[in-house]
Each structure stands twice: as C-alpha cells, then as structure tokens.
Structure 1
C-alpha cells in the first residue's frame, strides 16, 4: 500500500513538472512572436518575410489593405479582394507579388510612418531584450 502512495506522489510531481515546462515553452514561444502592428485606425498588420515590405493588414469589411514598408512608410490600398490579400500573405516572395499584382493595379495613398519606438518594441518582442538605440 505504501508503495502505491510513493508512486502516486512521484507521478504527481512528474506531471506537475511537465506542466511547468510546457508553460515555460509556450511562454517563450509567444514572447518571440511579434504582436500584430496597429496603425491609428486600429488595423492589425502581420509581419512579412521580405526585405522591402515589413507587414500587411486587411480590413475585409472595407476591403482596404495596409502595407508597411521597411523604411516605416505605411500605404493604404482600397478595393483589394480578400483573395488577393491572402495570396500576398502566402507568397514565397511578398515583394515580387506586391510589385506584380498590387502596385501596378491599385493606386495607393501614404497614410503615415511607423515611429522608431514601434520598431524598438518589435525588436524587444522578437528577441526578448532591449535594443541599443
């Protein structure tokens, strides 16, 4: 009977340590993922893997797409279909897709510029430390 109590206590401790480890792993993974960027209108922008495009966001109700460029400029493109936005986000080369399918077909309007403080916050969120500005 005592042997079973020891096994139960050992099993409980093992399960508890795995839960703590999972929480730590999940917490570290979420800390490395940058939060979606927001412009003053509140649109979420998701990061793009591109040297010229930093992030893109889409408002399906208004059919407006925002593109944040690497230099910090934010441009708005109207009457963009949800499918075109989905294709941009899934493209292996977002910059080429943007130049071929969006820049040529839609007239954009510069609506702002992302400040350096947002870039520093993204750096901290991505790497978990402070940047040296």
Structure 2
C-alpha cells in the first residue's frame, strides 16, 4: 500500500488499498491504525482535505472498525534498540 504524507493534527501519513477497502493512518507518535470496510470516497476526501485531522476525527475514527499497530519506522527503531541492547557491554545498563 502506498502511503501519502499528511501533516495535519496528529496525522503523519495515510494509505488506501481499494481492493481490500483498507485504510491505514499513521500518527506522529509512530502508532498506526488500519480500518476495514472503508470506501474509496472516504479515502478521496481524507487524502484531498486541507483539514485531514478534522475529517479523520469526524468521519473515520468512530465510524469504522480499527486495528492498532505501529508504523514501519517505529518498528524499525524498536528493532534497532533491541539489537543495541543485545550487544551492549556487560554492566552498561544506562542507569545512574
């Protein structure tokens, strides 16, 4: 699914899969929600809206079933930290 950058409120990106009628929105904190059963008209309005955050809150957030996840960037950062923790020297707990 191709993501479109959106800088509105807490939204940072959104993408739509018309075949599966799946809308994915990503937020500034790295979290993401996938909504199922979303029509192409809703995606068109969200992706072209100058007030995407308001449109999202009013027409998507409570109207469709969402499943939480995280953005690829957030997952990648978490994996990098896990590797760093795995290979840090013994006794280096970053606690003072």
TM-score (normalizing by structure 1): 0.53
Report the counterpart of residue 32 of structure 2 in structure 1.
Answer: 74
In the alignment, is the contact (CA less than 8 A) between 1:53 and 1:70 conserved in 2? yes
Report the counterpart of residue 61 of structure 2 in structure 1.
Answer: 103
1:70, distance to aligned residue in structure 2 (A): 0.7
State yes or no: 1:59 paired with 2:17.
yes
Task: Kindly report structure 1 stretches of 4+ aligned residues shifted beyond 6 Å.
Answer: none
Unaligned stretches of 5+ residues in structure 1: 1-42, 120-133
State yes or no: 1:93 paired with 2:51.
yes
Report the counterpart of residue 92 of structure 2 in structure 1.
Answer: none
State yes or no: 1:45 paired with 2:3.
yes
**Higher relative strand content:** 2
SS at match of 1:115: helix
Q: Is the alpha carbon distance of 1:71 and 1:114 closer, same or farther for their aligned partners in structure 2, counting shifts above 3 Å? A: farther
**Higher relative helix content:** 1
1:77, distance to aligned residue in structure 2 (A): 0.1
Structure with bigger gyration radius: 1
CA offset digits 1:4-48 (Å, max 9, x no partner): xxxxxxxxxxxxxxxxxxxxxxxxxxxxxxxxxxxxxxx211001
Distance, in Å, in 1 between the alignment partners of 2:69 and 2:28 is 15
Unaligned stretches of 5+ residues in structure 2: 78-96
Which has the higher relative contact order, 1 or 2, with Cα contacts under 8 A spaced 6 or more apart? 2
1:111, distance to aligned residue in structure 2 (A): 2.5
